[in-house]
Amino acid sequence: MNKDVEAGLRWDGRRVSGLDDILILHNAMPELDMSHIDVSCEFLGKHLKAPVLISSMTGGHPSTFEINKNLAIAAQNLGIGIGVGSQRAALEDPSLVSTYSVVREMAPDAFVYGNLGAAQLGKYGVDGVLKAVEMIDADAMAIHLNFLQEAIQPEGDTDARGVLKRIEEICSCGIPIIVKETGCGIKREEAIRIRDAGASAIDVAGFGGTSWAGVEWFRSENDTGKVFWEWGIPTAVSIVECGVGIPLIASGGIRSGIDCAKCIALGADVCALALPLLKRGFESAESAENYLREIIDQLRISMFLTGSMNIKELKKVDILITGPTREMLEERGHITGGFVKRRAER
């Protein structure tokens, strides 16, 4: 994986998450003591010391045991949340369970969430989801949508019929369900359908971070992946689109604490990061923890410089939206009189 992908840049070097179009207005007289700022929050019934999650990535191969162990230690020490990668591999081959269960072992107090693909729900059903929950003593399950990747992979699962119905079935199995994309974002119409199906939260996983089309392009011999690197709803736009009254995770190209602050000011409750943590998790628990600590410190500074004592106040700070992100939000009817409509409804 090259550095540009990690930086949330497209193949031509552009950052496309839309977060560069968001300006948080600086408060020159914040009237608070930075050391008193509270960055903690509640998320799906669990207390997080910061509104940060390590996004679903890995597990399922012996070499991933160490990465998940290191990431889990970082999550436990920082009091944040952590998701595991798709548990399909361990449902198929129980000898791989430890590469996932190590997360709960190392992070006994953290918000830990499991992961399965929506495309595979038909095969595994409610029983498979419950097995995945039990495997890591999960606080919630993420069900991922990755139809772009499925469509451009030669062996991909491209029958998307009945996905919402299956999500609805899973939502009644008694565990909070997070419906997440994997890099293409979610628009308002689907966010409403997901909410009405009974999901507890949405993770936008918007365009502008890790690109599965990009990954497929590196792997393949044709340019279809490169062409579809263009595809998706930018993270900043998707956050506003998904403001439908259930908890919201922002992800897709979040690479700093300022990005986290922007996402929360746009309407997210917590932020999730994936790719930058892969390399750090591979290095050591300390490396992952240091990186995340920096992100949280940058978030705290952003809060100080906007006069936000806590996350609730950060949600209300003044922002300016410019460029293509503004055009897209206007086109979709989210902006009236200079304000994002959905923020006013909160």
| Residue ranges that bind ligand FMN, judged by CB under 6 A | 8, 55-58, 85-86, 115, 142, 144, 180, 182-183, 205, 209-210, 251-254, 273-275, 278
Which C-beta is closer to ligand FMN: that of 9 or that of 240? 9
- What is the C-alpha to C-alpha distance for residues 230 and 117, in angstroms, rounded to an integer? 23
Least separation in angstroms between CB 312 and ligand FMN: 25
Write out the two tokens for 165: 């119905």
Taking each continuous run of H as one helix and of E as one strand, the counts in the chain are 17, 14
Least separation in angstroms between CB 195 and ligand FMN: 19
CA dihedral of residues 255, 293, 85, 137 (deg, nearest 10): -150
Least separation in angstroms between CB 239 and ligand FMN: 13
Which residues have C-beta within 8 Å of that of residue 119, sequence separation ≥ 6? Answer: 146, 147, 150, 157, 159, 160, 163
Which C-beta is closer to ligand FMN: that of 72 or that of 335? 72
Cα dihedral sign, 272-61-94-160:
positive
Least separation in angstroms between CB 261 and ligand FMN: 16
User: Any idea what the Cα angle at residue 99 is, between residues 148 and 251, rounded to 5°?
Assistant: 40
Least separation in angstroms between CB 168 and ligand FMN: 19
- What is the C-alpha to C-alpha distance for residues 339 and 319, in angstroms, rounded to an integer? 8
- What is the C-alpha to C-alpha distance for residues 255 and 280, in angstroms, rounded to an integer? 13
Which C-beta is closer to ligand FMN: that of 205 or that of 213? 205
- What is the C-alpha to C-alpha distance for residues 108 and 103, in angstroms, rounded to an integer? 8
Least separation in angstroms between CB 338 and ligand FMN: 29
Residue type (1 letter), 27: N
Which C-beta is closer to ligand FMN: that of 256 or that of 310? 256
Which C-beta is closer to ligand FMN: that of 83 or that of 267? 83
Which C-beta is closer to ligand FMN: that of 21 or that of 181? 181
Residue nearest to ligand FMN (CB): 209
Least separation in angstroms between CB 270 and ligand FMN: 13
Q: Tell me 50's DSSP state.
A: S
Residue 253 dihedral angles phi and psi, to the nearest 5°: 85, 20
- What is the C-alpha to C-alpha distance for residues 61 and 234, in angstroms, rounded to an integer? 31
Residue type (1 letter), 86: S
Q: Minimal CA–CA distance to 24: which of 238, 264, 292?
A: 264
Which C-beta is closer to ligand FMN: that of 184 or that of 317? 184
Which C-beta is closer to ligand FMN: that of 208 or that of 243? 208
Which C-beta is closer to ligand FMN: that of 68 or that of 308? 68
Least separation in angstroms between CB 330 and ligand FMN: 26
C-alpha distances in Å from residue 72, one per residue of 105, 170, 232, 281? 8, 26, 30, 9
Least separation in angstroms between CB 306 and ligand FMN: 23
Write out the two tokens for 346: 């909160």
